[in-house]
Structure 1
Amino acid sequence: MLVSRLLDLGDLAMMGNLKRGIALTWAKALNADKLPGEQYTGPAGDPGLFGPKSVMWYVHDDPSGVVGGVMGLILGSLHEPTMHGTNKHSVYKDDPLGRLGRTVSFVNTMCWASTPVAEKMVQTVRRMHKHVHGTMPDGRTYDASSSEDLTWTGVTQAYGIIQAHLRYHPRPVSKADVDRYYAEYAVITEMLGATDVPKTAADVEAYFAEMRPQLTFSEETADVVRFFTGPIGKTATARAGSKLLNKAAFDLLPPWAKKLYRLPDNPIDQMITRRSLRVLLQLLRDSVGESPIKTQAVERATARPEVLSQTG
């Protein structure tokens, strides 16, 4: 693999190109498309739904979260009705990177934006969901506004992000904070209209055990595999970096999902992928720096609220 060779050899000249190429690919993936209303300033003093001391802010303040987000999309694709609805009512097949960008846009807004902005974003997405419903050729129904579909999408995203955090963050959260993370992420899913969302790691494991008989590898799931196993970007370093990120996302899947995807069990390849991604993520932390989103959110949350004086 090109990336692992570069990292092992430590070629300084190529390392600079690698960082620039991967940073560009990273930015393109995160900004492929944005939902209307995404912004992180004002009102002053508003901490948003979670705030600076939340597990949500800590976990999402790291590039490992995007690897987890991709894993969440891959895992979520095993639920055929949800995947069918996505393909039927969106341009996902033609623009999968755009869908990834919109997912990132939504999660970022709910995590970092002020409370009124997050609430408005929820209403925007709920209006979009109202149009996504129907019946599959085999008679099964799908409905993006149903509690069942919302819970599946929300739980797979939360699971992917926290699993990536636990594996790749240099200072991962405690077991108790993992439960706090699931509880915080459940707030987002419930705001979209879901009920009885799992709120602890044990609840999530029980939920997956209940869902597993409904999960399949379908033709539409295969489209997801084809996209996420291919390179993204025009340069060799960007393409190699994106391929590593996507490979790591598949490697992050739980064992039962890997079986459904028929992924080979190759410990040596697994070790190389994980080692290379750890180095790659650290390169991103060092080269990309602090997110402008976090900077704006912290400034907003810690600012003194404006007080309107009343006279007369």
Structure 2
Amino acid sequence: MDVLGPLRTRLRLTFSGQSEGIPAWETALEEGDDAGYFAPDSAVWAVHSSMAPVASGIRALLTQALHPGVLAGVVDHSNYRSDPLGRLAGTIRWIFTVTYGDTAAARRACERVRHVHSAVAGTYVSSRGEFLPYSANDPALAEWVHIAFTDAFLRAYEAFEGPVPGGADSYVSEWAIAGELMGVADPPRTEAALRARIEEYDAAGQLSGGPRVDEVVAFLRHPPLDPLLRPGYAVLFGAVLETMPQRHLDLLGLTRPHLGPVPLPMAAAARGTLAVIGRALGPIGPSEAAARRRLARLGLL
């Protein structure tokens, strides 16, 4: 009896938008004429093929929401409330195509996102009360999205999986390619540079909380997930808060899980939750499997 079958079905529906079969874009990663930007022994493959990204996405969205320009683009132009799973599936498609596709597929994926972002523009209120213009393809906003993503995936892997193979600098340096493909002029290439850049945004007064942030936080705390997935999500949400800087938690209006004055150790529970998810989904995802078939065809594996 396949006791994990119901969980597998709901996870597939959540992550890919379909409960049966493999999305065509994933099997298409078998096509292509080169190895892509990242090798199977890269830090990017190690991080993105683990279960840590299931938790990383939560932290990335919370961190991105701290920039009012980025937040305005999400609130004013995205369908994150009406179709959160569709938005999630689109993000996963971009991540895995850049990670596992050949260079042409990775570039097309980034061009597709940048084309969609070309219509995402407007004005937002800065932390100083100024009305400022924003565009999703603005290099400064694209950089905040990139560094929030990089930091979230790195920290979640370290917290729930262990040290990154090759070191944290390897992951930051390798994934900088994705930032460049998305129009970031000079993405950080070391862990120290990543930390410094995040602190620079805050020191310059570019990050803030407020009612709009509170709305997104409330949604992320209780998204419209299948009831079977909600307990595990609650564990991951709490564990992610343990990995975040206190300054960011203050802006988000969040606190680390605790029982009275006693902090709750959420990391172990998160590792258990991710292990169950990994058992349900299997050791190698369809995107990675397709990439390995391409590499084998090209004699590169």
TM-score interval for Structure 1 and Structure 2 normalised by the shorter chain: 0.7 to 0.9
Matched, 1:126 2:114: yes
* Deviation of the 1:101 alpha carbon: 2.1
Report the RMSD for the aligned CA atoms in angstroms.
Answer: 2.6
| Alpha-carbon separation, structure 1, partners of 2:224 and 2:287 | 24
Determine the structure 1 residue equivalent to 2:219.
227
- Superposition map of 1:1-312 within 5 A: 19-20=4-5, 22-32=7-17, 39-43=28-32, 46-136=34-124, 138-169=130-161, 171-173=162-164, 177-212=167-202, 213-230=205-222, 232-235=224-227, 237-266=228-257, 271-289=264-282, 290-304=284-298
Asked whether the 8 Å contact 1:40–1:297 carries over to 2, the reply is: yes
Deviation of 1:156 after TM superposition, in Å, equals 0.4
Q: Secondary structure at the match of 2:134?
A: strand
How far the C-alpha of 1:165 sits from its partner, in A, is 0.5
SS in 1 for 2:143: helix
Q: Is the 2:97–2:106 contact (alpha carbons within 8 Å) kept by the matching residues of 1?
A: yes
- The Cα of 1:266 is off from its aligned counterpart by 4.5
| SS of equivalent residue, structure 2 residue 219 | helix
In structure 1, the residue corresponding to 2:40 is in which secondary structure?
coil
Q: Which residue identity does 1:78 align to in structure 2?
A: L
CA contact (8 A) 1:52 1:301 kept: no
By how many angstroms is 1:72 displaced?
0.6
TM-score in terms of structure 1 length: 0.83
> Gaps (5+ residues) in structure 1?
1-12, 306-312
Provide the rounded CA distance (Å) in 1 between the counterparts of 2:297 and 2:91.
28
Where structure 2 has 5 or more consecutive residues not aligned to the other structure, the ranges are: none
Deviation at 1:37, TM superposition (A): 5.6
User: Contact 2:68–2:124 (CA<8 Å) still a contact in 1?
Assistant: no
Tell me, in whole angstroms, the C-alpha distance in 1 between the residues paired with 2:265 and 2:9.
Answer: 23
- TM-score, length-scaled by structure 2: 0.86
Q: What amino acid is the match of 1:166?
A: E
Task: State the Cα distance separating 1:286 from its structure 2 match.
Answer: 2.5
Instruction: String of CA shifts for 1:88-110, please: whole Å, max 9, x gaps.
Output: 12222322332222211111110
Calculate percent identity across the aligned residue pairs: 25
Give the conservation status (yes or no) of the 8 Å contact 1:49–1:111.
Answer: yes
Shift of 1:247: 2.7
Q: Report the more deviating stretch, 123-132 or 26-35.
A: 26-35
Alignment partners' CA distance in 2, 1:233 and 1:119? 32
The size of the alignment, in residue pairs, is 286
Structure exhibiting the larger radius of gyration computed from Cα positions: 1
Q: In the TM superposition, what is the alpha-carbon distance from 1:28 to its structure 2 partner?
A: 2.8
Distance verdict in 2 for CA 1:270–1:186, change over 3 Å: farther
Conserved? CA contact 1:244–1:273, under 8 Å: yes
Deviations 1:195-218 (A, max 9, x none): 121111100111111111221113
Aligned to 1:9: none
Q: Please say if residues 65 and 164 of structure 1, whose CA atoms lie closer than 8 Å, have aligned partners that are also in contact.
A: yes
